[in-house]
Amino acid sequence: MVDAAQNAVIRRLIRAGAGSDDEIDALLKDVGLTEVARVLVEEVLFRCPEPANTAAVDVALDLTHGGERHTVALRMVRDEPIRTVEDDSARVRSRVAFTAPDLVRRLFGPADSPRTGDFRNSFVPTPQDPGQVSELLAEMNTVLRAAAQATATLMAGCTGRCPDLGELSIRYGSDKWASFHWYTAHYERHFAPYRDRPVRVLEIGIGGFDDDLGGGSLKMWKRYFPQGTVFGLDIYDKTALTEPRLTALVGDQNDPEYLTEMAREHGPFDIVIDDGSHVNEHVLTSFRTLFPYVRPGGLYVIEDLQTAYFTDFGGSTGGVAGPGTSLGLVKGLIDDLHHREHREPAVVRPTPAQSTVTGLHAYHNIAFVEKGTNGEDTLPSWMDADVWTALGAK
């Protein structure tokens, strides 16, 4: 679980990462290097991929600020969680050192922040006598490779950059790529412009079965948006997943009162993703209630549109998704987007969707709705069909 103080530090770190050196200095002065380092190391450990080295290796991360130093030694080996261990210089094979402001910028700053730091390897011992050289070379073959792999794992955790969403989906156990769905390429396309912003992301549907709490996609979003704050909503209690920058909420996506209260507390959101029950009625309730809480310039995503044709999800038969279905909603949004073109009757008072849907991208089973001000005017009313014909328009 996350305490309020930790959340406050994270919020300041996200702001300071994109801000001035003075902001980072002020944060370090107020909170102290030890507390800042605790939060930074937790973030680094979250971002690290699984270690690839088969031989266990200790690597150290040094953080400095002013005259102070904070060190954490990490033991890494394949198939085991990375754990902190005593900083034993006889065991530590490589040492990665950043000034605290450097690491703040690497983790929370713009993608083009300078990548500086001190990187020292201690995995090459000095031979005591010539006879030891071949022994050391043999050891280096295994130790050097393991140390390099472990150091690379640590370095991959010390950056905002990350593998593509397909790989993250597999890493964290979401089904958005290469299992049931092929969504992540579409997500890459539409989410890339938001990547280096302090976005607030809400996903309906956390996933997981039996003892598995799920949360794969929430972790994927947390890693993909290095400055992001991620909320997951599920009908089942998965609050044990709550950690820095990730909050699991309990509620029913078909309950407008709950959704409104939740959005008032945690929104507005830059991105809302509906990967919940996929019951058509629920999809419509969530969209109608939550779209107003998407920020202008934001996105609302609806997954698994196929249930628009599944009768046990309230879908339609006969190959045409009706108005009460998710796809009916999506098709209706195209009409809403064009409300200024409606004739007989013309729209006098646009609905919220008509005023704020500015774009729509539909792919197989997934749609992205853009939010903004749908303010483009129609053509002048005297430009009727005769005028068009006279102008030579087709």
Ligand X SMILES: C[S@@+](CC[C@H](N)C(=O)[O-])C[C@H]1O[C@@H](n2cnc3c(N)ncnc32)[C@H](O)[C@@H]1O
Query: Smallest distance, Å, CB 190 to ligand X?
Result: 16
Taking the least distance from each CB to ligand X, the nearer of 203 and 270 is 203
- For residue 325, CA distances in Å to 84, 205, 317, 322 come to 50, 18, 11, 6
Judged by CB under 6 A, which stretch of 54-62, 69-77, 187-195, 204-212 contacts ligand X? 204-212
Taking the least distance from each CB to ligand X, the nearer of 75 and 282 is 282
Q: Which amino acid is at 220?
A: M
Establish if 152 lies at the interface with ligand X (CB under 6 A). Answer: no
- Tell me how far the alpha carbon of residue 65 is from its chain's centroid: 29
**Which residues from 222-241 bind ligand X, rule CB under 6 A?**
233-236
Query: Smallest distance, Å, CB 188 to ligand X?
Result: 15
β-sheet bridge partners, residue 369? 300, 360
Query: Smallest distance, Å, CB 275 to ligand X?
Result: 4
CB 241 within 8 A of CB 232: yes
Let me know if 364 is a catalytic residue: no
Establish if 365 lies at the interface with ligand X (CB under 6 A). Answer: no
- Give the contacts of 8 (CB within 8 A, at least 6 positions apart): none
**Which residues from 256-275 bind ligand X, rule CB under 6 A?**
275
- Give the contacts of 101 (CB within 8 A, at least 6 positions apart): 21, 24, 25, 28, 65
β-sheet bridge partners, residue 234? 250
- Candidates 53, 113, 217, 316; binder of ligand X (CB under 6 A) is 217
Taking the least distance from each CB to ligand X, the nearer of 33 and 204 is 204
What is d(CA 9, CA 332) in angstroms, rounded to the nearest whole number? 44
Residue of 278, 339, 361, 364 marked catalytic: 278
CB 33 within 8 A of CB 63: yes
CB 298 within 8 A of CB 371: yes
Judged by CB under 6 A, which stretch of 10-18, 90-98, 197-205, 322-330 contacts ligand X? 197-205
CB 133 within 8 A of CB 125: no
Establish if 207 lies at the interface with ligand X (CB under 6 A). Answer: yes
Binding track, positions 16-55, relative to ligand X; x by CB under 6 A: ----------------------------------------
Which residues are marked as active site? 278
- Binding interface with ligand X (CB under 6 A): 174-176, 203-207, 214, 216-217, 233-236, 252-254, 275-277, 282
